[in-house]
Amino acid sequence: MAPSAIPMEGSTASSVVLKNGNSNTSALTNAGVTSNILKNAPSVINGAPVVNPPELDASLLHFIPNPAPKCVPHPSEPCVAEQKTCTDHMMTCQWTLSNGWAAPEIKPYGPLSLMPTASVLHYATECFEGMKLYRGHDGRLRLFRPQLNCARMLMSSSRVALPTFNPAELLKLVAKLCAIDGPRWLPRDRPGHFLYIRPTMIASDSALGIRRPREALLFVVMTMFPAMDANPRGMRLLASRDDMVRAWPGGFGYAKVGANYGPSLVAQGEAQAQGFDQILWLLGQDCQVTEAGASNFFVVWRTRAGAVQLVTAPLTDRIILDGVTRRSILELARERLTGAGARLAGGECAPLEVVERKFGMGEVAEAAAEGRLLEAFVAGTAFFIAPVSLMRFRGTDLCVPMPEGGVMATLKGWMRGIMYGKERHEWGYVVDEEE
């Protein structure tokens, strides 16, 4: 069935015009908006002709330039490591149930104004995204597969009763903010650097009652971020304790919602106090390996039968986040490392099996004990791709080799090439700069 033909139960909503043609995502978005109206304001639909409240529309953007732009710090300055330095502008857009999305604004970066009773402050009605803007070696600015982030943001917002929107419009707004602040904050003569982009949605509804929010705010800010994948000793991971889980079946571990992160910081703090970089989140009696911190987790091992496998947890139980980096690694590995002639950067023959399946910490420990654990690494936008050197599991330290030119290094090289424009690839989304 064509996406635009999705029937809307019990309503006259089939008269809703699907403005954005037949792209899957926009049809789903419109369907989502309609179901949102049905749930929250059935009177809009009962009998009366359907009035679609205004959708998120980047063409209505209003730009208020910052009259006092900051000095741009060098990426090596200490303030950058604090991850607080934002660029000169931010994008904001308000939504209310009755009036839909207002005209978006790009305006000087600064504080938000919220009532103390705002829903987000009490009920964690919040979701976010993490993307990067890269200054390429060819002088151009690029995003990396930003369509996936915008689609995921819609999925996350729906999970916490925040309003729906057309992800393609969000992408236009992100790109516009990048076009405005990119040229000064990522100078052309400093290729290989990036800004971190944080699209966020919060429920600003000031009613303290526990209910679906009727007011929300979408905003996008950009910050300077240190490169976190350059730690030469490798990441040290502490496996989570039996009495603390990050996500569970039927929960919301698959959504990038703030509610997943606050409660994980106790374990994260304990890990850091013991000299580890991140928690390796396990789940259940069989100590299923899920994710590491806010990154996806991969191992490369040799099976007892002799096959070399790249293994990561599956998306099926909705326990882990469908990372853009994870997805890209799996796609590149399947495309370029599974064939007979495939070679790793170090020259070794690759033929690799790429496997998404549940695996337990016991299996990882066995592979390590038998010398079959070849590599382990974490992958996410913030940390990019970083090797793991050690995992502590129930008092035992598993040491992990970090071969030069191995599977991780090969994939990381390709990804970096695409991000910084060394390889022309459809995943690189070029931002046209405004100067």
Ligand X SMILES: *Cc1c(COP(=O)(O)O)cnc(C)c1O
Binding site for ligand X (CB under 6 A): 130, 256, 291, 294-296, 321, 323-326, 380-381
In the complex, least distance from residue 311 CB atom to ligand X, rounded to whole angstroms = 16
208: closest CA among 115, 130, 96? 115
In the complex, least distance from residue 381 CB atom to ligand X, rounded to whole angstroms = 3
Q: What is the largest CA-CA distance in the chain?
A: 70
Is the separation of the CB atoms in 11 and 38 below 8 Å? yes
Q: Which amino acid is at 370?
A: E
In the complex, least distance from residue 149 CB atom to ligand X, rounded to whole angstroms = 7
Give 174 or 324: the residue with its C-beta nearer to ligand X. 324
Q: Two tokens at 376?
A: 């382990």
Contacts of 146 (CB under 8 A, 6+ apart): 131, 171, 174, 175, 429
Give 44 or 131: the residue with its C-beta nearer to ligand X. 131
CA distance 196 to 294: 15
Give 31 or 329: the residue with its C-beta nearer to ligand X. 329
Give 89 or 326: the residue with its C-beta nearer to ligand X. 326
CA distance 203 to 61: 21
Instruction: Kindly report the number of other CB atoms within 10 A of residue 11's CB atom.
Output: 18
Token pair 């590599």 in the structure block, residue: 375
List beta partners, residue 200. 128, 219
CA dist list (Å): 328 to 112, 334, 335: 35, 10, 10
Question: Which strand (E) or helix (H) includes residue 388?
Answer: strand 384-393
Give 245 or 324: the residue with its C-beta nearer to ligand X. 324
* DSSP single-letter state for residue 349: B
In the complex, least distance from residue 321 CB atom to ligand X, rounded to whole angstroms = 4
φ, ψ at 298 (rounded to 5°): -130, 145
CA distance 407 to 349: 10
CA distance 32 to 28: 6
CA distance 292 to 297: 6
Give 322 or 423: the residue with its C-beta nearer to ligand X. 322
114: closest CA among 223, 256, 216? 216
In the complex, least distance from residue 305 CB atom to ligand X, rounded to whole angstroms = 31
Give 11 or 325: the residue with its C-beta nearer to ligand X. 325
In the complex, least distance from residue 212 CB atom to ligand X, rounded to whole angstroms = 24
In the complex, least distance from residue 40 CB atom to ligand X, rounded to whole angstroms = 28
Give 257 or 390: the residue with its C-beta nearer to ligand X. 257
In the complex, least distance from residue 281 CB atom to ligand X, rounded to whole angstroms = 8
Give 324 or 367: the residue with its C-beta nearer to ligand X. 324
Q: Give how far the C-alpha of residue 157 lies from the chain's centroid of Cα atoms, to the nearest Å.
A: 13
In the complex, least distance from residue 89 CB atom to ligand X, rounded to whole angstroms = 23
In the complex, least distance from residue 385 CB atom to ligand X, rounded to whole angstroms = 10
CA distance 199 to 402: 34
Give 85 or 295: the residue with its C-beta nearer to ligand X. 295
Helix (H, G, I), strand (E, B) or coil at 12: coil
Is the separation of the CB atoms in 360 and 417 below 8 Å? no
